[in-house]
Amino acid sequence: MCITPISDNAELILLPSFSMSAMLSTIVEYQIEEVKGVPPIMIRMVRDPVVDNFDLSCIKRFASGSAPLSDEIISLLQKKFPGRGFLQGYGMTESTACISCHPPDKYHFKYAGTGGTLVASTVVKIIDEDGKELGVNESGEILAKGPQIAMGYLGNAEATKEAFDKNGFLHTGDIGRIDEEGFIHILDRRKELIKVKGIGVAPAELEDLLLGHVDVEDCAVTSVKDEYSGERPKAFVVLKQGLHPEEKIGQQLMAYVREKKVRYKALCEVEFIDAIPKSASGKILRRVLRDEKRMGTPRMVVRERGEHARL
């Protein structure tokens, strides 16, 4: 994302440090037309009250990358800034650059939930767990091949063999599908899928749902061991300002998910915390959430009760 302005011969304005007010002031001063940012910045664009103090009519489009942006935040962004364009891409460290991105004629919110279409000279296929290649709108692991894809891991032949198939396709580890128009939809990381009775549940799907709840400021979903089901989804929730963690809200959130999703996707626990740990690029640090020592003392944990306690 940071390479794109250079390749486009665009003007870059660098700030010595980040603050929301400094960023917004710079946008106004230089009449910046495209705002590129990671998901935490996009979340603040729709939820931070300081944004309303600036005339941001100069913005023509938003670009998000480095981590998934939920459908709920995309919807709020569209409502807060109507008539603007939106684009994002899909890539990873091993692809060195984008595997896909939104083409210029598709810079609008209709395609905001996708990773765009394939960039030049790139081939992608979707496979199931048995390695069978899948068709349009069928979900499986994304494999990619192109001139921008790395040749392997230096000095690590074993890791290279695991990551690349015999035809040179990179196993991205991402679960997704390709629709009729050729747009890639990223559903989740393969390794992060929660296996409930052997059925994969994508954390991002539940996170997106919870972000739409009136009481939720931010959230993350991970797996917890379950004697009966193998694994179950657990939500870490940051409540909106002014709300205090309590048993009632936790039960309401679990009921909200049960109402909207099939039974095996139901939450078994809700833990209220002060902030979701994330990397600088906005990726949720699930390993930190699972590490009780690093997380410290939880504010409150609410568990399923009664008939919902077992699937």
Q: How confident is the model at residue 20 (pLDDT cuts 50, 70, 90)?
A: very high
pLDDT in tens, 85-95: 999 999 988 99
The CATH 3.30.300.30 domain(s) of the chain lie at 193-308
- Architecture in CATH of 4-83: 3-Layer(aba) Sandwich (3.40)
In angstroms, the CA 76 to CA 55 distance is: 18
pLDDT in tens, 274-307: 999 988 777 888 888 877 655 566 678 999 876 5
Angle of the 71-80 helix axis to the 203-211 helix axis, nearest 10: 40
Q: Radius of gyration (Cα) for the chain, nearest Å?
A: 21
For residue 115, pLDDT beyond 60: yes
pTM: 0.67
| pLDDT (mean) for 51-74 | 89
Which pLDDT value is given to residue 52?
96
According to the model, what pLDDT value does residue 171 have?
A: 94
In the chain, CATH 2.30.38.10 sits at 123-190
CATH topology of domain 123-190: Luciferase; domain 3 (2.30.38)
Non-local (6+) Cβ contacts of 276 within 8 A are: 218, 219, 220, 236, 238, 284, 289
- Backbone torsions φ then ψ of 175, nearest 5 degrees: -95, 130
For 176, what's the count of Cα atoms within 13 Å in the CB-facing half-sphere? 26
First to last CA, the chain: 43
Strand order in the sheet with 140-145: 123-127, 140-145, 170-178, 184-189
pLDDT tens digits, one per residue of 245-258: 999 999 999 999 99
Closest C-alpha among 1, 79, 69, 68 to residue 35: 1
The token pair at 310 is: 């077992």
Judged by average pLDDT, the poorest of 38-42, 171-175, 256-260 is 38-42
Q: What value does the mean pLDDT of the chain take?
A: 89
| Confidence at residue 2, expressed as pLDDT on a 0 to 100 scale | 58
CATH class name, domain 193-308: alpha beta
Lowest mean pLDDT among 18-22, 197-201, 233-237: 197-201
pLDDT of residue 7: 75
Q: Which pLDDT band holds residue 195 (cuts at 50, 70, 90)?
A: confident
Q: What is the pLDDT of residue 284?
A: 87
At a CB cut-off of 8 Å and minimum separation 6, what does 16 contact? none
More confident residue, 301 or 311: 301
Nearest to 68 by CA among 196, 261, 234, 203: 203
The C-alpha atoms of residue 145 and residue 99 are separated, in whole angstroms, by 9
Q: What is the pLDDT of residue 309?
A: 58
Q: Show the CA angle centred on residue 282, arms to residues 60 and 9, nearest 5°.
A: 40
pLDDT digits (tens, 9 = 90+) for 209-238: 999 999 999 999 999 988 778 889 999 999
Find tokens 């230089």 and name the residue: 30
CATH 3.40.50.980 location in the chain: 4-83
